[in-house]
Chain A
Amino acid sequence: MMSRDASIDAQDVSVLFPLYHGNSRSLKKLLVAAASGRLAEDQQHRVVVRALSDINFNLKSGERMGLVGSNGAGKTTLLRVLAGIYEPVTGRVRLHGTLNALLDPSLGMNPELTGRENIMLRGLYGGLSRPLLARLEEDVIEFSELSDFIDLPMRIYSAGMAIRLGFALATAIRPRILLMDEWFLAGDAGFLEKARQRMEEMVRAADILVLSTHNDAIVREWCTRVMWLDKGRIRADGPAAEVMDQYVGTPAE
């Protein structure tokens, strides 16, 4: 059976973050407001942050999109929306194909657990079946070169070992849609050639890549298309080189 092509389709997506800080997150305020008949007004006057406004785009199999923009422009929020973590307040998102979102380098990892247990947990989070779990374990142990350390708690690992394990885990599962946040490329200058290869393999194997980053070189090398986000809106969307020239040429405000 041929499966359908992977695709992402976003229509008029907006995400609002209500600010529940401090007092406003309390029942008292709400009760008082309700008692004094200000509930409706209170809700309208609730402080909200518009993290994304009217985002429209679609990605077809083979497209690799870079997300650029200053900090707080909404790149990570958009990745979270695409990953199904934040459901949009308005608009519609539709994804076709298996998804792997690399948003948190230490997803579900617990430093008190051994490397092997962390591998198992990550596999279970990914919904892997028992035979796949065994393969995941084998693959990650081999790549991370932890040998005997794999059965010791992660908290005694050196920083390098922990990074190797996290990286091996994150790159072990090959999805059709790959969403990647910039942490993943952090410090790649000193990254082992082996790791670079493995990551590029994963990127190539994916049908669709959405990558959030500040790194100009990586975007130009990997992406076919770039979306420039500014204060939650699309400022530009087009061929990578074109948008990047424009983006790099614009002084930060």
Chain B
Amino acid sequence: MTIQVSEADQDTVLEFFSGMSLVVRNRFAINDVLGGLRLWRLAWSLGWLDIRLRYRGSMLGPFWLTISTGVMVGSLGVLYSALFHMSLRDYLPFLALSQVLWGFLATLVGEACGAFTESEPVIRSIRMPFFLFAMRILVRNVLVLAHNICVIVVVFLALRMWPGAAALLALPALPLWVADALALSLLLGGICARFRDIMPIVNSVMQIAFFLSPVIWKPEQLGAHAVWLPFNPFYDMLEIVRSPLLGQAPSLLVWGAALGYSAILCGLAWMFFLRARGRIAFWI
């Protein structure tokens, strides 16, 4: 008894040719994304197994991440609230949120660079939608994020804080984060497969961005200079999630900037993917 692939699948047509027009490239790229979405169970399993294997044999598993984030937030919180002359009650929830969100963002960007190169054996032995590998990166990082969210919950409970109904305003930010994460993986994954020196560049950019963005320092501390902050895309992306959870609605300007930057990122990623999709297998 063996598996005969179903009748409906038998009309599969696979066709490639050189000198594709933009319209055709677009169709191929859309099919790639749709094909990836159809394989969501595979993307989920791959991401989940990545995490499980990373912590194989460890008793606490990914909760080690929760603990290290927790310790980091706790100690930095005490130190910086003293340095910045702020009350712990004001500073700690802010820091917990920032640290967890930034951790997700920075790790995702770092891993996005390897989205295709890490799956080289698979890409070279079976035709798979490239979008699948972007989904895998997203799943993996969302699972890590889910563990780190415990830190935020603990901080909020310990300080008996409740963001209230304003927290719901963070929800529209989720699809934006998801779209940006997938776009980043397609873009960075492809560029880094072609140019191997991009990865160290990306890593140092992220390091600089960490200090230039209000992650450990609060936007208010900039005083009058804070008007320039919306130019920093990381600020906008963080703010649309963070400020609702701290009980404030983000300004329209911040939302507008976040939407604008995301549109630019997704547009760039798509333009790149249109051109690069058929070449990635040669690059890795």
- A-to-B contact residues, CB < 8 Å: 1, 3-4, 17-18, 20, 25-28, 30, 80, 83-99, 101, 103-104, 106-108, 110, 112-113, 117, 120-121, 124-125, 127-128, 132, 135-136, 138-139, 171-176, 201-202, 205
Q: Smallest CB–CB gap between B234 and chain A, Å?
A: 23
With A84-B127, A97-B12 in contact, is A92–B18 under 8 Å at CB?
A: yes
**17 sample A-B contacts, Cβ–Cβ < 8 Å, listed by A number:** A1-B7, A3-B11, A28-B197, A83-B126, A85-B125, A85-B281, A88-B17, A92-B17, A95-B15, A97-B11, A98-B9, A99-B14, A101-B127, A103-B124, A108-B126, A132-B3, A174-B2
B residues less than 8 Å from A108 (CB atoms): 121-122, 126
Query: Do A113 and B14 touch (CB < 8 A)?
Result: no
Q: How far is the CB of A206 from chain B (nearest CB, A)?
A: 11
Q: Do B49 and A113 touch (CB < 8 A)?
A: yes
Tally inter-chain residue pairs, CB-CB below 8 A.
Answer: 142
Asked if B3 and A135 make an inter-chain contact with CB atoms under 8 angstroms apart, the answer reads yes
Inter-chain contacts of B278 with A (CB < 8 A): 87
B224 CB within 8 Å of chain A: no
Asked whether B123 is an interface residue with its Cβ less than 8 Å from the other chain, the reply is yes
What is the CB-to-nearest-CB distance from B113 to chain A, in angstroms, rounded to a whole number?
A: 13
Q: Interface digits, B38-60 against A, CB 8 Å rule (1 contact, 0 not)? A: 11011001100100010010000
Please name all residues of chain B whose beta carbon is closer than 8 Å to the beta carbon of A98 when the two chains form the complex. Answer: 5, 9-10, 12
CA distance A25 to B16 in the complex (A): 26
Residue of B nearest to A109 (CB): B121
What residue in chain A is nearest B125 (Cβ atoms)?
A104
A4 to B11, CA, bound (A): 7
Q: In the bound complex, what is the Cα–Cα distance between A117 and B124 (angstroms)?
A: 22
Q: For window 8-31 of chain B, which residues contact chain A by CB distance below 8 Å? A: 9-19
Q: Does B195 contact A (CB under 8 A)?
A: yes
Whole-angstrom CA separation of A193 from B46 in the bound complex: 35
Residues of the B chain whose Cβ atoms lie less than 8 Å from the Cβ of A96: 11-13
Known: A87-B278, A92-B16, A99-B12. A26 touches B2 (CB 8 A): no
CA distance A136 to B102 in the complex (A): 42
Q: How many residues of B contact A (CB 8 A)?
A: 46
Measured CA separation A206–B129 after assembly (Å)? 24
- Bound Cα distance A112, B56 (Å): 9
* Apart from the given pairs A84-B14, A93-B14, 16 other A-B contacts in the complex at a CB distance below 8 Å: A28-B197, A85-B126, A87-B278, A92-B18, A95-B12, A95-B15, A96-B11, A99-B12, A101-B125, A107-B122, A107-B125, A108-B126, A127-B42, A172-B2, A173-B2, A176-B10
Closest residue to A96 on the B side, CB-wise? B13
A25 touches B196 (CB 8 A): yes
Q: Which of A86, A94, A97, A101 contacts B10 (CB 8 A)?
A: A97
Q: For the complex, what is the distance from the CA of A215 to the CA of B8, rounded to whole Å? A: 36
- B1 CB–A CB distance under 8 Å: yes
What 0/1 readout, one digit per residue, does chain B (175-204) give for beta carbons within 8 Å of chain A? Answer: 000000000000000000011111001000
Select which of A91, A107, A138, A173 is within 8 A of B5 by beta carbon.
Answer: A173
Please name all residues of chain A whose beta carbon is closer than 8 Å to the beta carbon of B127 when the two chains form the complex: 83-85, 101
Closest-CB distance, B189 to chain A (whole angstroms): 16
CB-based contact B12/A80 at 8 Å:
no
